[in-house]
Structure 1
Amino acid sequence: MTSLQLVVRVKDQPDMTSLKAPIAETYTDIRLVADLRGFKLRVSALRRLARANASSLRELTLPAGIGDCQLEALLEPLEALGRLYVSPPVDSTGEWLRLLPKSLKTLEITADQQITRRNWRTSTVSNCTRKTIRSGMTRSPVSFYEYFYSKLSVGVQLATDKLLDQLSVLSNRQPDYQVTHLVILESPSVTPGALARLLASFTSLKWVKLGVVGATLETTLAALHGCSGLEVLYLTDPRPLTDIPALTESEVAAVSRMAVTCRKLEELCLTSSAVNCQAVLTALLKTYLGRTIGLYVPTES
């Protein structure tokens, strides 16, 4: 075998306190995939695990609410990690983001939010998410395309303004390791200002999916003007199509300006009402783009 992957699910071994991958033989790539839900998350144990597997730990899934000290102790020694699935606590400082290894290709974050019984029924969070919060486990990962030119893909669910502001530190990574793919889903508490600040900081974006209310606001779309390499943009309103209000003239115009400014944009996917999709299409047809853009809309419209 030229590639061997060892998958360890610690939840099946609740008494496990340490983990070490086999020693790789010649021409064999030993990849360690660790699901640490159920692992005894002592800082000392995590540090020993990380040091013992610094060159072989490739994928890591952590339980909801893991503290900053635990995260930092685990991440600092790692040098080959490719995927990280994590749910940082509400009071996280975000300092752990500075310790992400250069090898990281996929970062999946589900914010650790508390939803009370009073606002449970009125929340826009899906039933799948509710089950996840009840169980206290990390959600299923965000699914998005991983193109060959992807440097770092970031997927965020149940985001808060605080978390988005913390993520902007990733813009300080070296050019070869910056964020090129971004997905933000099911985040009803995120404000347009925080979303715009994050998008403005990620100037290397090529593939973006925004599944939040306010994705078509002028401030949001204007923040994408600095993404000269943007190729694919999903504007996905999470509300039912019948509940989505009509876009204002300024919002429709903002879509056109973004399409003109982002000269490499090839695909625009708009999940909205039939009236809104038609308005955007009409505006794009009246705008001189100098190229062809594929506009994708829901089949219901």
Structure 2
Amino acid sequence: MEPRPLADSDVTVQTEPQPSAHSDATVLREALRTVTTFDAPSALGEDQLTALLQSLPRLEELTVRVPSFGTGRWLRLLPTSLRTLYVAGPEVTKPRWPGRYGSGLSVSLQGVAADTISHLATELGSRITLLDTDAQITTIPSQLRGAIIRVDPNTVILPAGVGESELTELRSSRKTVKRLSVTAADLPRLRGQLPKGLRRLNVRGPEVTDPSWPGWYRDGLSVSLQGVAADTISHLADLGRTVYILEIYDCPDLTAGSLEPLTRCPGLHWLTLSGGVPDTVLDSLSGCPGLGVLRLGDRQRPAETAFTAAAVSRLVKSCRKLCQLYLHCTADTGRAVLTALKETDLGRESDGWPRTIVLHVPGQLYDQLKSQRGDGVGVWEWEDWMS
């Protein structure tokens, strides 16, 4: 008998189920939703990163390397769950992670374009509680005034309204912080909290966005007061540190009485007064016997010449250690001061040698006065040599 041909119903074919493209995408989306840490490839473009961030709703740590895009559009898509953002440029070989601080966003920037900070401020604003950057910040964006800013391992800018968490952060960095900027309102709270290695302290008023760091050399603490009320000076003696250099800028209510607390700063050697400096203010400095250097004005902001040459000569006679006098003032005032000092009996040094004093003036005035030096008074061109 001829065998019967096989019908279709007689054949059973067993195969593995083939996943659909739709199911692959679903699995990938679900996997991305659980990702908390992501290191973005260096070749990733802004459009790709933007699309990717929309799929990472639970992201907590993000690393972006060599960002060639500059619009900052991707920043606005960072999920609210993100706690740490690290952005590194092409030359970075030793990453500096910011660590987590508070409940907000901690950001570290290394070797990136300067406009990245402005993008961060615009797109993330108050979300940032800690910004760690190697870029030299000249102006603090208003959106970042609530953040701790570490410009480098040695420099910290504290926000207004210092709380216990900020002080804890400061204490943990007390071995490395050498420059610190705080608001005037928070200065009284820092008694006993200053890092042991601190060398420069900037105290700024509410309108100041560009901290002015004081010069520093030798031992002690250098302090700059910037746009603050004059009563801020009263807190300096309570810091528990020897103030060696003090620079006061843009304090419109400076009076003789407001400088009285300086007599309780026996280490004070160098004083800068910018703005209005009347005779009464200079006369009040007679109670600072250790004063060796006085600057009236600076290279960028001259002193308002409300003082007279007679007041300067009285101060030189009363402060026996005063040996360097910097003047940024009108030519008439400079000539009058030089004449008055030459006519003043400067006395003698402790070793018996005749006492001398050096008058430092800007270049244009120096050309006019250099030929008139003598009688114990030298004239030098003003140079800012402290670092």
**What's 1:222 paired with?**
283
> How do 1:38-57 residues align onto structure 2 when only pairs under 5 Å count?
38-40=128-130
> How do 1:1-301 residues align onto structure 2 when only pairs under 5 Å count?
15-16=105-106, 38-40=128-130, 59-76=154-171, 79-88=174-183, 90=185, 92=186, 94-113=188-207, 132=209, 139-144=210-215, 146-147=216-217, 149-170=218-239, 173=240, 177-188=241-252, 190-193=253-256, 195-214=258-277, 216-218=278-280, 220-236=281-297, 244=304, 247=307, 251-290=308-347, 291-301=355-365
Q: Is the 8 A contact 1:152 1:180 kept in 2?
A: yes
Structure 1 unaligned segments of length 5 or more: list them. 1-5, 19-36, 42-48, 50-56, 114-128, 133-138
Aligned partners of 1:7, 1:209: CA distance in 2, in Å? 40
Cα displacement string for residues 162-182 of structure 1 (whole angstroms, at most 9, x for unaligned residues): 422223323xx3xxx401111
Whose radius of gyration is greater, 1 or 2? 2
Shift in Å at residue 269 of structure 1? 0.6
Cα displacement string for residues 221-270 of structure 1 (whole angstroms, at most 9, x for unaligned residues): 233323333221101179987x94564xxx43221121122222221011
Distance 1:232 1:100, change over 3 A: same
Distance 1:235 1:95, change over 3 A: same
Shift in Å at residue 210 of structure 1? 1.2
% identical aligned pairs: 28
Aligned partners of 2:212, 2:96: CA distance in 1, in Å? 18
Aligned partners of 1:221, 1:294: CA distance in 2, in Å? 18
Distance 1:80 1:222, change over 3 A: farther
Aligned partners of 2:342, 2:360: CA distance in 1, in Å? 14
Q: Which amino acid aligns with 2:204?
A: T
Cα displacement string for residues 61-87 of structure 1 (whole angstroms, at most 9, x for unaligned residues): 224424244443334555425423223
TM-score (norm 2): 0.49
Distance 1:62 1:287, change over 3 A: same
Q: Which amino acid aligns with 1:59?
A: N
Distance 1:166 1:16, change over 3 A: same
Q: Is the 8 A contact 1:87 1:112 kept in 2?
A: no
Cα displacement string for residues 42-71 of structure 1 (whole angstroms, at most 9, x for unaligned residues): xxxxxxx9xxxxxxx962422442424444
Distance 1:100 1:7, change over 3 A: farther
Aligned partners of 1:207, 1:71: CA distance in 2, in Å? 31
Cα displacement string for residues 124-169 of structure 1 (whole angstroms, at most 9, x for unaligned residues): xxxxx5xx3xxxxxx243252x22x331111121121242222332
CA RMSD, aligned part only? 3.7
**What's 1:136 paired with?**
none
Q: Is the 8 A contact 1:67 1:89 kept in 2?
A: no
Structure 2 unaligned segments of length 5 or more: list them. 1-93, 109-126, 132-147, 348-354, 366-387
TM-score (norm 1): 0.61
Identify the structure with bigger relative contact order (alpha carbons < 8 Å, sequence gap 6+). Answer: 1
Q: Is the 8 A contact 1:58 1:80 kept in 2?
A: no
Shift in Å at residue 109 of structure 1? 1.8
Q: Is the 8 A contact 1:64 1:112 kept in 2?
A: no
Number of equivalenced pairs? 225
Aligned partners of 2:305, 2:261: CA distance in 1, in Å? 25
Q: Which amino acid aligns with 1:210?
A: L
SS of residue paired to 2:154: strand
Distance 1:84 1:237, change over 3 A: closer
Q: Which amino acid aligns with 1:253?
A: A
Distance 1:8 1:87, change over 3 A: farther
Q: Which amino acid aligns with 1:84?
A: R
SS of residue paired to 2:363: coil
Q: Is the 8 A contact 1:213 1:237 kept in 2?
A: no
SS of residue paired to 1:141: coil
SS of residue paired to 1:281: helix
Aligned partners of 1:104, 1:183: CA distance in 2, in Å? 16
Aligned partners of 1:270, 1:184: CA distance in 2, in Å? 15
